[in-house]
Homo-oligomer: A and B are copies of this chain.
Amino acid sequence: MPVPNGRSPVMADVARLAGVSHQTVSRVLNGHPNVRTETQARVQAAIEELGYRRNSSARALVTRRTGVIGVVSFDTTHYGPAQTLAGIGRAARASGYFLSVVTLQTVTRKAVREAMDYLAQQSVEGYIVIAPKRAVVEGLADQSVDRPIVAVEGGEAPDLPMVCVDQVGGAYLATRHLLDLGHRTVHHIAGPRDWLEAEGRVEGWRQALADAGAPVPEPLCGDWKPRSGYDLGGRLARDPDVTAIFVANDQMALGTLRSLGESGVRVPEDVSVVGFDDIPEAEFFTPPLTTVSQDFSEVGQRSIRLLVELLEAADGDGSAAPAQHVIPARLVTRKSTAMYRRA
């Protein structure tokens, strides 16, 4: 500690060492134009000599800006949210913002509200909420929060700024792919009913069937976990009419592949299977899984960009209609799908 007392240096210490006023130090730090180059250099040198670092609390107190973005994520063994969070983190840092993260165990309106309250204590400037359930998104719109919120993965949320992957389009792609292979129709193992992603995938699947004039079987609902894909897959395995299955995520698809295998149903010879997410493991399933890939990193970046825009706009004029970014999904064709062959 190069400051006499032993305390860490403050602006005044730097000023004294550089032979200027503390305000000039502040000016250098904030890149104000009217500082002589030589003075700037002297201040910089003093800063380095003392190892000075500006006190963020004092700064935040007077500027009324903390530079912190609150993120509400949820505890998960799902692949997507973790990737999204990483994308958000990268983008936030690139924009000079800090990230304060709360991870929920349960995705309920109440839990989200509590998490946001908690983050408010820390004076976050805005929120990014990974909101995969309808109830949560609706709760967000209600909520009288005076700071900007961006919903991620929130499906359609008309009156909220939002970034999501085009679930409907992705599911359409997957289903269309199976129909193009000659399958008369496509069965669907869906996610839980109250999840927006699940809903979107059901819708895209249904639409593709409708557009093709194919019959629409009753979708089966799982819980995203491999086991439910296993259980429901077992049910479909017993039905000889089933030749193509679109499973709402890769983990369940894995379970489905297993139960089909155990029932002596060959994939893709007897039944074709498509998943959703393109987790890193999918390429090495037995057989390698055809699935729909989502660019989570892009989702993260867009959501930060959107929130930052809202934050800067808040200083200026009244904002326009809430922007909604929908990022396209992409079909990745592997070995779990094949032409329909009459039994």
Contact = CB atoms under 8 A, between A and B. Distances in A.
Copies of this chain = 2
A283 B229 CA distance: 12
A189 to B, nearest CB: 14
B120 A53 contact: yes
Contacts of A100: 68, 98-101
Contacts of A82: 76-77, 82
A205 interface: no
Interface string A65-77: 0111000000111
B86 A103 contact: yes
Contacts of A230: 284
A314 to B, nearest CB: 14
Interface residues of A, number: 55
User: Which of A61, A103, A118, A285 has the most chain B CB atoms closer than 10 A to its own CB?
Assistant: A103
Interface stretch (A156-164, A238-246, A254-262): A254-262
A113 to B, nearest CB: 14
A89 interface: yes
A57 B53 contact: no
Given A57-B57, A101-B99, A120-B53, A281 B251 contact: yes
19 contacts: A53-B121, A54-B121, A57-B58, A57-B60, A57-B66, A61-B61, A75-B90, A89-B102, A90-B103, A90-B105, A98-B100, A98-B122, A225-B280, A227-B283, A230-B284, A251-B281, A254-B285, A258-B284, A279-B281
